[in-house]
Amino acid sequence: MGHEQNQGAALLQMLPLLWLLPHSWAVPEAPTPMWRDDLQNHTFLHTVYCQDGSPGVGLSEAYDEDQLFFFDFSQNTRVPRLPEFADWAQEQGDAPAILFDKEFCESMIQQIGPKVDGKIPVSRGFPIAEVFTLKPLEFGKPNTLVCFVSNLFPPMLTVNWQHHSVPVEGFGPTFVSAVDGLSFQAFSYLNFTPEPSDIFSCIVTHEIDRYTAIAYWVPRNALPSDLLENVLCGVAFGLGVLGIIVGIVLIIYFRKPCSGGMSSGGGG
């Protein structure tokens, strides 16, 4: 009974912040697209989150669970996950609403967080990492490694890459997006040119509990395009030579006189 009263008291402490909500209604609404009726069977997910760890605040937008953008609050601009989305990222008509959501979320953390700390269970997920190539593997041709992180909650992580156990620099930002059920997933990208001896590792550290997940990538089931061409040419040449030899043998065989038959005819 005492536990339930504590939870009720913690929830009541949140009520004074509800006066902030009508302010978001005063933000001008973005114009409704004319093609909205064609998207009734799809889901556009706009998720704002904030936390005590890093990143302190984030916004991800996904269409049918495929992330389109994240929001760079230091520059107050959308960042496209793929270059094809760059034109759409220029739209800033909802910037006032995004900034309000950020301030409201941070106010909740500052005012409510200390009061409910230890009274509401904290949900955590152990991240799962896997690494794969963005394009089919061909040695000597530029490609991109993708480190996909699932089962992420809260979205508080750092991602690092290693090549033969040596830290790699120059990889892009980590894209964090929300999925159904209020959990998160993350993507990290590393451009590289694959070689047969490569060993890459993606190291994901969950900052809230220092849990570390490591995923390795080594070349598998790949054949360099140059070697493939050489092998195919060699096989074709071998079959051609074999065909010529068989043809010559058959010609000689069928043009050979039937000496046994002629001798029998002469004796009669």
One domain, residues 100 and 75: yes
List Cβ neighbours of 173 (8 Å cut-off, separation of 6 or more): 79, 188
C-alpha to C-alpha distances, 205 to 33, 117, 129, 157, 208, nearest whole angstrom: 40, 24, 10, 5, 9
Q: 81: domain range?
A: 19-30+40-116
What is the reported pTM?
0.64
One domain, residues 110 and 84: yes
AA letter at 87 = D
135 neighbors 145 (Cβ within 8 angstroms): no
CATH of the domain at 186: 2.60.40.10
AA letter at 145 = L
Considering its fold, how many domains does the chain have in total? Answer: 2
One domain, residues 141 and 213: yes
Q: Tell me, what DSSP letter sits at residue 108? A: H
- The confidence score (pLDDT) of residue 30 equals 52
C-alpha 59/C-alpha 183 separation (Å) is 14
State whether the Cα torsion 240-246-247-248 is positive or negative.
positive
Residue 110 covered by a domain? yes
One domain, residues 145 and 85: no
pLDDT in tens for each of the 268 residues of the chain? 454 445 444 444 544 444 444 444 444 455 555 555 555 678 888 888 888 877 888 888 888 878 888 888 888 888 888 778 888 888 778 888 999 999 999 998 888 888 877 777 777 888 999 999 999 999 999 999 999 999 998 888 999 999 999 999 988 888 888 887 678 899 999 999 999 999 999 999 998 888 999 999 999 866 555 555 666 677 776 777 777 887 777 777 777 665 554 444 444 4
Rg (CA), the chain: 32
